[in-house]
Amino acid sequence: IAGITQAPTSQILAAGRRMTLRCTQDMRHNAMYWYRQDLGLGLRLIHYSNTAGTTGKGEVPDGYSVSRANTDDFPLTLASAVPSQTSVYFCASSETLAGRDEQFFGPGTRLTVL
C-alpha cells in the first residue's frame, strides 16, 4: 500500500441501507478527513480526525458518522442512506506539522443511493 486507499471504488445502494466506506493510509499521518464532492459545489468536509481517538464535525456531517480507532483507518458510515447522499466521497490525510499541513487525497468512492 502506498498513500491512501479507499474501498469500494463504487457502490450502488438502496435507500435506507447502511453503508461503510473504508479509508486506510500508510503515511502515519495524524489527521484524516472525509469530503464529498458534488457538481458545482467543490469539496465539502463531512468529518475529520486530528489524531487517533478523536473526531470532529465538518461542514455537512448530518447522516454520517466516523470513528478513528487507530492512526491508519478512518471509516465513514451512512447509517440509513438517502438519495441526497449520492456523491463522490474522498478521504484525505495530513501530517499536521505546525505550519505545514498539506492534505493528500485517496482515489475516491462513487456512491449512488437509489
Partner 1 sequence: GQQLNQSPQSMFIQEGEDVSMNCTSSSIFNTWLWYKQDPGEGPVLLIALYKAGELTSNGRLTAQFGITRKDSFLNISASIPSDVGIYFCAGRLVPGEKLTFGTGTRLTIIP
Per CB under 8 A, residues contacting partner 1 are 4, 33, 35, 40-45, 48, 50, 58-59, 90, 92, 96, 98-108
Query: Smallest gap, in angstroms, from Cβ of residue 70 to partner 1?
Result: 21
Nearer Cβ to partner 1 (14/98) = 98
* Phi, psi torsion values for 54, nearest 5 degrees: -125, 145
Nearer Cβ to partner 1 (29/106) = 106
**CA dist., res. 29 & res. 42, Å (int):** 24
Report residue 65 as a C-alpha cell: 458518522
Nearer Cβ to partner 1 (45/52) = 45
Instruction: Report in angstroms the alpha-carbon separations of 81 from 11, 45, 70.
Output: 12, 18, 26
* Phi, psi torsion values for 50, nearest 5 degrees: -80, -25
Residue found under cell 443511493: 113
Query: Smallest gap, in angstroms, from Cβ of residue 46 to partner 1?
Result: 11
What's the gap between Cα 50 and its chain centre?
A: 13
Query: Smallest gap, in angstroms, from Cβ of residue 26 to partner 1?
Result: 16
Query: Smallest gap, in angstroms, from Cβ of residue 49 to partner 1?
Result: 11
Nearer Cβ to partner 1 (29/79) = 29
